[in-house]
Structure 1
Amino acid sequence: MKCKMNRNAAKVLKGWLESDGAEGKMVRVYVTEMHGNHAHYDVMLDTPTEHDEIVKTDKDIDVLLDAREDFLDGVWIQYFFVPQEGFAISNKSKGLPPQHH
C-alpha cells in the first residue's frame, strides 16, 4: 500500500506524535464514509492491529493503513492553513477531490 503527505501534514502529525499520551501510537488514516466509487477519510493516532500495514512515507512518518480496505491504498494526506485550517485527505486513484477536516 502507498501513502503520501505534504510538509504541512508531516509537521502537524509530528507534533501529535510528540504530544503527551502519544507514546506507542502511530498515525492512522481511515475511511469515515463510503459512497460507491469513492470514500471520505480522516486521521488519528492509534495502535497497530493485526490487519494493518505500516506504510513508510518520504516524511519519516509511518502510517497505519488497514490492509483490508482498498480505498486506503494511495491516500494523500495534506494539511492547509488557508482558507481554513485542517487536513484534506484524498485518493486520486479512487475518485473525488480532497475533503477538508
Structure 2
Amino acid sequence: MNCKINRNAAKEIKKMLSTEEAEGKMIRVFVTINHVDHAHYDLKLDTPTEHDEIVKTDKDIDVILDKREDFLDGVWIKYFYVPEAGFEITNPSKESHGHRH
C-alpha cells in the first residue's frame, strides 16, 4: 500500500503526534463513506490491528491503513491554510473525490 503526505500535512500531523493524547499512537487514514466509484476519508490517532499495514512515508511519518480497504491504497494527505485551514484526503489512483475537514 502507498500513502503520500504533502509538506503542510506533515507539519500538522507531527503537531498532532506530539500531543499527550497521541502517546503510543499513530495516524490512521480511514474511509468514512464508500460510494463504489469514490470514497470520503478522514484521519485520527489510533493503534494498528491485525488487518492493518503500517506505511512509511517520505515525510518520516508512519500511517496506518486497513489492508482490506482498496480505496486506501494510494491515498494522498494534503493540508491547506486557505481558503480555510484543513486536511484534504484524496486518492488519485481511485478517482476519488476529495474530502476536506
TM-score (norm 2): 0.97
Runs (4 or more) in structure 1 with deviation over 6 Å come to none
**In structure 1, the residue corresponding to 2:96 is in which secondary structure?**
coil
Following the alignment from structure 2 to structure 1, what is the Cα–Cα distance between the partners of residues 99 and 24? 28
Q: Secondary structure at the match of 1:8?
A: helix
Q: CA contact under 8 A between 2:39 and 2:97: conserved in structure 1? A: no
Instruction: Read off the aligned partner of 2:37 and give its amino acid letter.
Output: N
Identity across aligned pairs (percent)? 67
TM-score by length of 1: 0.97
Matched, 1:10 2:10: yes
Residue in structure 1 matched with residue 24 of structure 2 by the alignment: 24
Q: How much does 1:97 deviate?
A: 3.8
Deviation of residue 95 (structure 1)? Answer: 1.4
Residue 60 of structure 2 is matched in structure 1 by 60
> Which residue identity lines up with residue 22 of structure 2 in the other structure?
A
Task: Using the TM superposition, give the Cα deviation of residue 98 of structure 1 relative to its aligned residue in structure 2, in angstroms.
Answer: 2.0
Partner deviation per Cα, 1:23-62 (whole Å, 9 max, x = no partner): 1100000000011111000011101101000000000000
CA RMSD of aligned residues (A): 0.8
Secondary structure of the structure 2 residue equivalent to 1:21: helix
1:96, distance to aligned residue in structure 2 (A): 3.1
Match of 1:48 in 2: 48
Asked if 1:75 corresponds to 2:36, the answer is no
Separation in 1, partners of 2:82, 2:66: 30
AA aligned opposite 1:87? F
SS of the residue aligned with 2:16?
helix
